[in-house]
Each structure stands twice: as C-alpha cells, then as structure tokens.
Structure 1
C-alpha cells in the first residue's frame, strides 16, 4: 500500500465537507507521515468553501465529482487502498427529497462496490460503509438498550434510515473480500447548537441517545486506516457510541445544552406538547464498547465536547440565557414547530398519519398535559437484551440449518434454501417472511445484522400487523 510520495496508506474519503468529514480531515492532517487522503466532493460553492480550511494540507487531494457518477467513483477507487464512505444525503434534506436520498445513498454504495469488484485484486481495497442508528428506529424506554442484531425497524417518514438499510444490505452481501459497516449514532458537534429546523420537534423528551463527539468519530476513521487494525474488525457490523458517559436521555441533553448557554429553565422556551412522544430513533448501546476494544478511539467526555461547542458558538448562542424566554418561545420556537415537518404543523392540519406517528393519536396529544405534571425521565441504566432467536454463543462458522430455521421461525417465516455449505455465512440464501415475500440474504445479514424481509421493512405503517406474525419484531413494535 504505497503512493508516489512514499509508503503511505491511500484513503478515499467521501462526505469530506460534512461535520464528520471535516473533523476526519483534521485528524488525517496529523498523520501526513503515513496517510494520504483523496477527498471526494461535489464541485459546489458550498463544498469548496467547506474545504477552504484545508488548502494547506500537505497530504490532501480533492476529487471533484458526484457519487452517483460510476466512472468518477471508479477512477478514484483505482488510486487508493481504503474507502471511508461517509458521504450521504441526511435528514432533514433526505426526508424532504427522498428520491435524491435513495439515488445518492444507495447508488453511491452500488458504485463503490462495483468499482472495487472491477479491480484486478478486489482484496487490495477495503471498504468501510457508514450506516445509522436510524436503521433500528424508535426505542423509547423500557426498550432503550440496543445492539447490532436487533430488528431493523425504521421510523415513519424516515427516508434517510430506509436508504441506509438498503445500502447496508448491499455492502454486507456484496461478496467483497474486505469490508466493515459502522452504524453511526448522533454526532455531537458545535453546529448542533445552531440547528433551527422542525426536526427538533421530533425528538421525544423521554427517549435516549448514546452520543459520540465528532472528534472521536474522526479518530475512529483514521484508526481503521492504520496497518495494525485486527483482522477480526473486517467483515463486522458495529455500533459507534461514546460509551457510558455519553448515554443521555433527550431531556438531559436539552437541559445540559440550555444550561451551558445560560438558560436557567429550558421549559420556558417550549410548550411540553410541541415535542413528539415517539417515531424518532436512539438507543443506549449494550455493544458499543466492542468497537472501542477492537479499534480504540474514545478520548472525549460529553463535558469536553459541550465546552468546545460553546466556545465555538456565536455570541448570540453563548448568551442565549440573557434573552427573555418569551422572545425565544414565541418568535423562534413556536414558528419552527408550525413549519412543514414540525409537529404543530401536523396538529394544525389534522394530518392523521403524521399525528399518529408523532403522538399515537390526536387524543393522545391532547392528553400530554403541561409542565406541571412533567417528571424528569429516568431510563434504566441496567442493560437489557432482545432475543435474537438463536444461541448467540455458537460461533458463526458453526451455524447450522437448525439455527437458520429457528431464526426464520422467530421472525414468522422460513428458510427456503435446502442445501448450503456449513461455515459459509456470507453467501445469500433464500428466505420467506410471514407474508410470503421471498428474498435473498446471507446468514450474516440476518443473524448478525438483524435484517429480514426488505419489502416488510419499507411498510412502516404495517409494523404492528407484521408483529402479529413476527415475534422478533414484536419485542420493539411498541417502543
């Protein structure tokens, strides 16, 4: 793995202009003695401005292009040793333009896989894909502890999550010799303090998230490019999380940020019933420490990251506590909730589908009450694990037809393939779900990844009906 400037690992980084991507470039700039970066970016004014910070970065080259352009992607893949595929259309834009999200998020993964397969030696290039916590959808307490292998279950109207489910299936069952899939959680970065979008109202106060800092996430990306990454890392699916100190209830996060901005009582900024009670995403991970053990990357505490965010914020954010609360509530937050995709926009329009997703029903929204009956959420910190439907102590090479049949039955379906090679967990088999949809998926995708019927996962409104036949899904359908 050499380049024309010495014995350095050549990295292709997509998504280099985003918060995570720019943090990664800063980390890679510290490793110029052993790594070079080819950043793939769109030739837009916005992207050029975002990369201007790195004009003097000695080990950086920029390839201007579109991830949906297969030829442009292939030209880059021929020059590198590892792909870090961070680039994607994310929410809220993904939800506003779902066709664009699927075209980019799914199409780019197809192009990368095809480009690596076309190489004389596909094993010479590793691919690291990036998924999302949104793939497993809403996990309100008491179902708030999760791990890889839990049911793939996307929240309603979440096209970003749906596109990432498809992209992950493609990579895991691609047949590529060297790959890994990282499911990213919420990234805490300074820009969070300036977000003003109706998606803010989708986050339930009582739900949770195990966050991670942009800097630690960047360190992870750089570390997986080091030559000493254990072989066991490759071929795995991992949850990225900051660990115990980053496991916060959403209300805890709200009050922490507000307190850092000098806001004494964040409740004075909102009405309690402006915020959804379900249909978002977030977990505390029972397995995020595994990735830290294999590829250590954690250095930040939540307080570290919050202090940095406040220091980098504009004066208007740092002094938000000095602004009369009624101004923030009525001139900033209230109008935000009434914009399209805001929860109060759905209430005002009596949009039954959106109201049901966010609150359960209009009557349930009316029953939320005011702040006088609110209690600080206290989710259990004792991990609880879902039943994945098979003996997880059995090493994957020892999985048998009995394991596969048991897993399929747990999901209300069946394994249709009758002959396969024991120990081969990567080759797709044919399965049938409880609604007679036939599909192909490898044992690794199903048992390790938690994937099941691709048709059913897109039928978000039908999850409750599916759960009547799918015991695996029924564990979280009311979460």
Structure 2
C-alpha cells in the first residue's frame, strides 16, 4: 500500500482480538484500550494479533484503524465441540457482539466514517446488554434450549479457573458513536441461534448422564482439553489453567459453587501519565514518566512535542531495547515485545513494572 501512487486514497482496517489483553478476572474485569497487553499462556493467536497491531499502527499509512474484536455470538456457537470450551472460566466475563452487528460495523466503515476514526485503536463490544459472565452465558443458552440444570451436564473441575481472556469495556461506546452498528440484543441473537439449530431443541429430552459421560467427558480429555492435561501429568498446563495441581484438587463440587457477581461499576487501570493532557501536548517528560511507570527508560533524547507517530527508542526493566511510537505505547498499551512473548515471566516482570503489576496479583488470577 505504501508503494501505491497515492496511499491516502486507500484505507485499511485491521482486526485484532480481546485475546490481546488475556485473563482479566474480577476485580479487574473492566478494561479499555491502553491497558497492558498480557496474553494468556499457550495463546499464540493472541500473540500474533499483538504483532499485527504494531505493524499497522507503525506502518506510516495515512488512513488506518485497528479493531480489537470481542467474542462474536453466532448460531454456530451452539454446535461447538472443541476442547477450548474447557478453557472458559466460569467466573470470567465477556462483552459479546452479534455476528450481524460485527458485519454491520465493517460494512458501515466501507460506506464512510468521520475522519477522526482513522488512526485509532478500538474495542469492539455490544454494550451494556451484552456484558455477560461466562456462567451467565451457559445458563442463558441452556434455558433457551429448555435444559433446566446445566450443571448436570458437567463436572465443575472440568473448567479452568484462569488463563482465558475477556473483559467488559469502559470504552466500547466510543466506536458506536463514530460508526453506529449496534442493533441486536442478546435475547434476539440467542433466539435466532436456537431457531437455526432445531435439532438442539431436543436437548431437554436427553438424559443428562448421556451428555456428561458420552459427549462432554471425552471432549475434556482431547488434545487441549483440561482433563487431558491432568491425565497426562502436564504440570505446566495444569498450573497455567488452575494455578497448581493442589489448587485443582481443591476444587469443590457444584454444591460449593457460587455464581459470579462481578461489579457492574466501571473501574480503570492507571496508564502512567495524565490522560487529560492531549496527545498534541505530549513531550519527552511525559514519555519518561510512562517509561518509569513500566520500570524502564526512554533512550531517545530530543523528542518533538506532539509528534506521536515517530518511533522512539526505549529500554524495559529487563534490559531489552526496542522502538515504538508514543501512540503505540501510550494509546494502545504496547511495551517491550520480548517481554510480552514471555508469558510465564509476567509475574517476574511485574516486580519491576507497575503498569503490569496492576493485573498480576492473586485477585486478578483466580476465578470461579
């Protein structure tokens, strides 16, 4: 695109993922663009999205935007038979969007958007009515299928207690203001999904023990299933998804399970600078404060005030040197590319990085 005669005539929209920000348990289940990028372990998909996002933000193209897509609710979800379902923590949250609204967003961008849309990174979410807990999603789907007690289909310990992804957004309404795309309610989308899967409406008549033992239990034992990790003695994976073998063994049955009730009041992580200062007024002093908040330093000496697109040189607390524009660091939450790839090292990084430490405490890791 840069090689075209007039790149300004071409606009590009990249699609990222909520997986870029990884596990966000209560009380840190609210988030926004600019929060730490912190991918769950084994999630190479999330890592590739971070790399692609940096490529686009730093591309030098005149008209671009990056959309961090949330979970898309569509009829095919009711038919998913993949071990990844065991990774969805019961206490986790997700701000979903319907497949129709997600498509409407892209079509609307192609039809024309305000000029201020370009050059931004946005969270794509359905808004208030789409902010569900993972347990609530299970209950809603089961209820729509006429299943009275979804717990009879599962054993509680089959579900990971950490290391997934998803949060509610404090800033998803901004995209709606720029490019109106929301029309669906979750109830309407769920109704359409059930109508599109008539065979599943017979689920209410299937004895629960059949679903539990002949469908779900084998699924949990497949490659990437949580019980497969336990069976095979993969202690690294067990620790990633449960904390430890002992923590897994300590999980109770359904009679000790309390449905999650995360706060509906938005909360915010600190980003290490005065966010009331407009980007056009950002200076080297602002960037040095941001670097210090992350345990690192700004290496570039002379910085042009208000230039947020030119990459600067930085050093993280562990001594890695890298380049990144102020826009990438302050607005999008990027930091050291080597450290973000070292997922097992996040707790150690947080000892020096106050920015990351906001999410690395015990309360931010355990769910359900």
- CA deviation map 1:218-251 (0-9, x unaligned): 1100111123x11110000000000000000000
SS in 2 for 1:182: strand
Is 2:197 the counterpart of 1:313? yes
- Aligned counterparts of 1:353 and 1:121: Cα–Cα separation in 2: 51
SS in 2 for 1:224: helix
Equivalent position of 1:442 in the other structure: 325
- Aligned counterparts of 1:301 and 1:152: Cα–Cα separation in 2: 29
Mark the runs of 5 or more structure 1 residues left unpaired by the alignment: 1-115
SS in 1 for 2:181: coil
- Aligned counterparts of 1:314 and 1:195: Cα–Cα separation in 2: 15
- Aligned counterparts of 1:148 and 1:167: Cα–Cα separation in 2: 16
Task: Report deviation, 1:314.
Answer: 3.9
SS in 2 for 1:180: strand
Equivalent position of 2:285 in the other structure: 402
- Aligned counterparts of 1:455 and 1:400: Cα–Cα separation in 2: 26
- Aligned counterparts of 2:285 and 2:142: Cα–Cα separation in 1: 53
SS in 1 for 2:111: coil
- CA deviation map 1:52-102 (0-9, x unaligned): xxxxxxxxxxxxxxxxxxxxxxxxxxxxxxxxxxxxxxxxxxxxxxxxxxx
- CA deviation map 1:296-334 (0-9, x unaligned): 11000000100000000141x122111100000000000
Is the 8 Å Cα contact of residues 283 and 303 (structure 2) preserved in structure 1? no
Match of 2:160 among 257, 261, 276: 276
Is 2:187 the counterpart of 1:303? yes
Equivalent position of 1:219 in the other structure: 104
Is 2:4 the counterpart of 1:124? no
Match of 2:246 among 347, 358, 363: 363
- Aligned counterparts of 2:339 and 2:2: Cα–Cα separation in 1: 30
Match of 1:423 among 292, 306, 327: 306
Structure-to-structure mapping, 1:17-416, within 5 angstroms? 116-227=1-112, 229-315=113-199, 317-416=200-299
Equivalent position of 2:341 in the other structure: 458
Mark the runs of 5 or more structure 2 residues left unpaired by the alignment: none
Task: Report deviation, 1:420.
Answer: 2.4
- Aligned counterparts of 1:420 and 1:130: Cα–Cα separation in 2: 31
Task: Report deviation, 1:424.
Answer: 1.1
Instruction: Give the CA RMSD over aligned residues.
Output: 0.7
Is the 8 Å Cα contact of residues 281 and 305 (structure 2) preserved in structure 1? yes
- Aligned counterparts of 1:322 and 1:142: Cα–Cα separation in 2: 39
- Aligned counterparts of 2:156 and 2:273: Cα–Cα separation in 1: 42
Task: Report deviation, 1:375.
Answer: 1.0
TM-score by length of 2: 0.98
